[in-house]
Amino acid sequence: MDTVAFVFYSATVAQGAKKRLEKIGIQGEIMKTRKGLITPSCVYNLVLNSKDLYKAKTELDSYMYDYDILA
């Protein structure tokens, strides 16, 4: 399975995005990743199946979530 990750800088925002996507049928998993000594020291990757990328991006953009995408 090819995956894509939405990167969030807050656990609360990542959880909210995951719940929002689950409401429209997209399953994902949040993985905490530690970064170097710069702030923020952790990021939260919401990993999804790559086939759901467009639908998930459209949904998150409609609620103005702030994220980066790792493909």
Q: Which class is 3-70 in CATH?
A: alpha beta
Interval 43-61: pLDDT, tens: 899 999 999 999 999 999 9
For residue 34, what pLDDT is reported? 80
Comparing CA positions, the residue from 54, 1, 7, 47 lying closest to residue 27 is: 47
Local confidence band at 68 (pLDDT 50, 70, 90 cut-offs): confident
Cβ contact 55:25 at 8 Å: no
Share of the chain above pLDDT 70, in %: 90
39 vs 2, residue with greater confidence: 2
Cα separation, 9 vs 64, in Å, equals 14
